[in-house]
Amino acid sequence: MTEITDISRVKSAELYEKAKTYFPGGVNSPVRAFRSVYGTPLFIQKGDGSHIWDADGNEFVDFCGSWGPLILGHNHPAVREKVISVMQNGMSFGAPTALENELAELILSNNKFIEKIRFVSSGTEAVMSAIRLARGYTKRDKILKFEGCYHGHVDALLVKAGSGLVTFGETSSAGVPKSFADETIVIALNDKDALQKAFAEFKDQIAAVIIEPIPANNGLLLQEGGFLQFLREQCTANDTLLIFDEVISGFRVGFEGAAGVFGIQPDIITYGKIIGGGMPVGAYGASATIMSNVSPQGPVYQAGTLSGNPVAMGAGIAQLTELLKENFYQDLETKTTAFVSAIQQYVADKGYEFKIFQIGSIFWFAFTGQDHIRRADEIDANSMSHFKIFHRELLNRGIYLGPSGYEVGFVSAVHTADDMEKAKLAIFDSLDVVYNQ
Ligand code: PMP
C-alpha cells in the first residue's frame, strides 16, 4: 500500500471562508459543507464526462454526479448543444412553449405508469405538490411516510419517527409546526405489521402513503421482495393513494423507474434530478383522472414562474433521448455490477466486514457484516467513522464520493473502463487503510 498525502485545498479553503460570510454554514444546501467527512468542502470548477476538477486543480473521477442527475456525466455534448440552441431564443417566457410538449411526449409515450404530468422546478416541489394533490383528491389529511426515506424539505415530511411501532412524527427541523407533523404518521420500512396497524388506527384518514420505492437517502435500504406489492394492496384496500417518490430512482434504474422495475402501479409518481439533465426540473404525474384535479383544470392549486422553463426542458429532452437508446440501462448495470463484484471479492478475501448494496447503477458502501440493511435503524451509526476515513483516502486517490456515508453513489454512462479500474484500486487501498488503522 502506497502512502498518500492529502490533496491541496488551499483555494477551496479560501473560497469556503468567503462563502461563510455570505451563506449560513458557507453553503446553499447543508450536506455540501463536508460536516461528516474530513476537511473543508471542495469547490468545484469544472466537470467533463466522468471527471471533475476543483479550485485547486485536483482532478477526480466523480461518483456523485450532482447527487444523481448526471446519468450521462458532466457537460454531455447532446445536452450542452441543446441548451445552447434553446438559449439563442431567450431563457424564460412564463408562457407555454413547444419544448414542454416535447418533453412530456417523450416521457408519457415511454412510461405506462402515468398519463399526465406537471413540471415544477425541484424534487421538493414535486413532492409537496403530489401531497397536496393526494389530499385534495381523497379529501383526507394524513400522510404516512417511512423512517429513513427523504422527500425533500417539505414541512409535512421533515418528520422523523417517535418511539413505538406507529407514531405521529416529531419534527426533524426547527420551524415546522407540531400541528403539521401531527398530520404525518411515520413507520419503519419493510414492516408489514406496522403498516396494517397504522391503517387500522387511522382508518379513513390517510390520504397517501409516500415511499422511495428504492430508498436511497439513508443508505440504500433495498426492501424485501413483496413489501412494495403489499403496500400497493393495503393502499388500494384503504382507498389511500400510493405515491412513489422517484426523484432518485426515476430514469435511473430504467426509463420507467422503480415502478417499471418492480411492475407496480403507484397512484402518483414524483420525479426530479435526471429528468432535467442537470437543470432544475421536477415533475409529478398520475392518471388523467387524478391529474384533472390540478389547477386550472381542478381545485388543487399549484403554480410556478419558472415551471417548464424552456432551457431546462431542452436539457431534459436531450438527456432522456439518450436514455432511450438500445441497451442503455443494461450496459450501465453491467458496468456497475462488475465494479461492485470485484470489490466484494476483494473484501471477502481480506475478511473485511464491508458490503456494497447495489441496484442498477446505484451503489452504497456499508461498513457492516450484515447481509441486508432494510431499515434506517439497522445502520450502525459508528460505521460512519469508517466512512470518514474512507472518503478522505478516496479523495486523495482521485475518487469523489458524496460527502456523507448515508449517501449513495452513481455510475454514469460515460465512466470508462479506466475510470472503473482506477476507482476499484483506490477503493481497495482505501479499505486497507480503514481496516488496518
Ligand atoms: N425526494 C427524493 C427521493 C430525493 O432524493 C430528493 C433529493 N435528494 C428530493 C425528494 C428533493 O429533491 P430536491 O433536492 O430537488 O428538492
Rounded distance, CA 152 to CA 284, Å? 14
Residue range 325-346: average pLDDT?
Answer: 98
pLDDT of residue 168: 75
CA distances from 112 to 107, 317, 334, 430 (A): 9, 18, 25, 43
160 annotated active-site: no
Residue 269's closest CA among 299, 297, 291, 253? 291
Ligand 1 probe mutation, 32, 124, 271, most atoms within 8 A of CB: 124
Question: Given a cut of 80, is residue 161 above it in pLDDT?
Answer: no
pLDDT band at 382 (very low <50, low <70, confident <90, very high): confident
Question: Given a cut of 80, is residue 162 above it in pLDDT?
Answer: no
pLDDT of residue 171: 86
Name the CATH code of domain 77-323 (choices 3.40.640.10, 3.65.10.10, 3.50.50.60, 3.30.70.100): 3.40.640.10
Task: Please give the number of the atom of ligand 1 that sits closest to the Cα of 272.
Answer: 15
Rounded distance, CA 45 to CA 295, Å? 41
Chain segment 24-82, per-residue pLDDT in tens = 999 999 999 999 999 999 999 999 999 999 999 999 999 999 999 999 999 999 999 99
Per CATH, the architecture of 1-64 is what? Answer: Alpha-Beta Complex (3.90)
Question: Given a cut of 60, is residue 2 above it in pLDDT?
Answer: no
271 annotated active-site: no
Residue 107's closest CA among 258, 243, 271, 248? 271
Rounded distance, CA 223 to CA 198, Å? 19
22 annotated active-site: no
Domain boundaries along the sequence of the chain: 1-64, 77-323
Question: Given a cut of 80, is residue 269 above it in pLDDT?
Answer: yes
Residue 127 in contact with residue 154, Cβ under 8 Å?
yes
The reply to whether ligand 1 has any atom less than 6 angstroms from the CB of 212 is yes
The reply to whether ligand 1 has any atom less than 6 angstroms from the CB of 248 is yes
Question: Given a cut of 60, is residue 157 above it in pLDDT?
Answer: yes
- Ligand 1 centre and the CA of 349: distance in Å? 37
Residue nearest atom 11 of ligand 1, based on CA coordinates: 152
Rounded distance, CA 340 to CA 425, Å? 12
- Ligand 1 centre and the CA of 353: distance in Å? 30
The reply to whether ligand 1 has any atom less than 6 angstroms from the CB of 218 is no
ipTM above 0.90, yes or no: yes
Chain segment 343-371, per-residue pLDDT in tens = 999 999 999 999 999 999 999 999 999 99
Chain segment 183-214, per-residue pLDDT in tens = 999 999 999 999 999 999 999 999 999 999 99
Q: Sign of the CA dihedral 372, 375, 380, 384?
A: positive
CA distances from 316 to 75, 282, 321, 347 (A): 13, 10, 8, 39
Alpha helix (H) ranges present in 23-72? none
Rounded distance, CA 207 to CA 122, Å? 23
Ligand 1 probe mutation, 67, 151, 212, most atoms within 8 A of CB: 151
Candidate list 54, 191, 245, 419, residue with the active-site label:
245
